Amino acid sequence: MRILLAGASGVFGRVLTPALIDAGHEVVGITRTPDGVRAIEAMGAGTVVADVMDRAELLAAVEGHHFDAVISQLTALKKPPMRNKDMDVTNTLRTVGTENLMAAAKATGATRFLTQSMIFGYGYGDLGPGRITEDAFFGPSPRRAFARHGEAMLRNEQIAFSEPGIDGIALRYGLFYGGPATNAYVEGLQAGKMPLVKAGTNSFVHLADAASATVAAVERGKGGEAYNVVDDAPAPFADVALEIAKDFGTKTPRTVPAWLTKPMPYLHCFITGRWIVSNAKAKDQLGWQPQYPSFHEGVHADARAAGIQA
């Protein structure tokens, strides 16, 4: 397929773009900057220079092009969010940005549209011990402070599913680690900027596995469906960070009591909540299997790739 990819030069895009090309697809990445152009072209992809938040500019940039599929991997997050306001720009990308990308999909004849969603659309806090499937509630959290984030994720998926003749697919990713994402953890740990709370459980996915699931979804996903993209072994965030610290030989992060993070409500919820998410649907319908079933295998592989004996 000929694929228009928003977010091609981002942390995930730097893994997804080569995965799509290796699978035989032609990728054209959207970027606003000369640095973005260089990064995308270095991966063997083409570029369209436009701001996805400017619909007129985006449509002018893709005029005369044809794409079979459009993939949105839009995010404005450069570091882990601490407060609810840190999500505001990404929320706007998930609404206005997704609407503009859908307009580009219609204008270029695309018949598939994939969008980045997240497991946090199921809610914020302790979601219980059972495996969360795609049939669970997805949308604004009953916790008022977090409602706008779920509302933006729901609207993002609604836009993807909204157009007749375009098969819209939502990929509800878990927490990313792996490759450049693991490198970011390493930097934070080495700088002593990642205190840990031994609480909560989250669902993770290595970026390589997130990319392979995305390739499977663009090729075999069913229009109108959402898929959880997580590994097989939910774990506390602290366990993953400690494994990275051990394998990469960084400073051991200090452990703090959960109440100390309450002034940063998004972070507090994120590290004390419980998201135990099922990947059975992605395995069954997409024929996908995570290469790294748990963070243990994934972190060890990252350390080996970095030339560190893990």
Task: State pLDDT tens for residues 142-151.
Answer: 888 889 999 9
The pLDDT of 269-288, averaged and rounded, is: 95
Among 152, 138, 177, 30, residue whose Cα is nearest residue 87: 152
Cα(183)–Cα(268) distance, rounded to whole angstroms?
A: 23
Cα(196)–Cα(261) distance, rounded to whole angstroms?
A: 10
The pLDDT of 81-102, averaged and rounded, is: 87
Query: Three-class SS of residue 28?
Result: strand
| Placement of tokens 């505001």 in the chain | 88
pLDDT-derived band at 78 (thresholds 50, 70, 90) equals low
How large a percentage of the chain has pLDDT more than 90?
79
Domain membership flag for residue 307: no
E-state strands within the chain: 2-6, 26-31, 46-49, 69-72, 112-118, 167-173, 175-177, 204-206, 225-229
Pair 162, 95: CB distance under 8 Å: no
Between helix 265-272 and helix 237-248 the angle, nearest 10°, is 90
Domain membership flag for residue 257: no
Domain membership flag for residue 102: yes
DSSP secondary structure letter of residue 59: H
Domain membership flag for residue 117: yes
pLDDT-derived band at 310 (thresholds 50, 70, 90) equals low
Res. 309: pLDDT tops 90: no
Lowest mean pLDDT of 19-23, 123-127, 275-279, name the range. 123-127
- Determine the pLDDT at residue 191: 86
- Determine the pLDDT at residue 43: 97
Instruction: Give the CA radius of gyration of the chain.
Output: 19
Cα(189)–Cα(101) distance, rounded to whole angstroms?
A: 36
| Beta bridge partner(s), residue 196 | 255
Domain membership flag for residue 287: yes
| Beta bridge partner(s), residue 161 | none
Domain residues for the domain of 215 are 2-180+207-230+278-291
Strands 167-173 and 175-177, by their bridges, are unpaired
Domain membership flag for residue 170: yes
- Determine the pLDDT at residue 193: 78
- Determine the pLDDT at residue 145: 84
Q: How many domains does the chain have?
A: 1
What's the CA dihedral at 222, 156, 209, 309 to 10 degrees?
A: 180
For residue 97, which amino acid is it? G
With vertex at residue 226, the alpha carbon angle to CA 173 and CA 203, rounded to the nearest 5 degrees, is 30
Cα(70)–Cα(104) distance, rounded to whole angstroms?
A: 8
Pair 75, 115: CB distance under 8 Å: no
Spatial CB neighbours of 211, under 8 Å, sequence gap ≥ 6? 12, 15, 16, 19, 20
- Reading the block at residue 293, the tokens are 């079933």
Domain membership flag for residue 196: no
Whichever domain contains 38, its CATH number is 3.40.50.720
Among 236, 197, 171, residue whose Cα is nearest residue 7: 171
pTM: 0.95
Neighbour count for residue 255 (Cβ, 10 Å): 11
- Determine the pLDDT at residue 261: 83
> How far is residue 145 from each of residues 141, 201, 268, measured CA to CA in Å?
8, 21, 13
Domain membership flag for residue 264: no
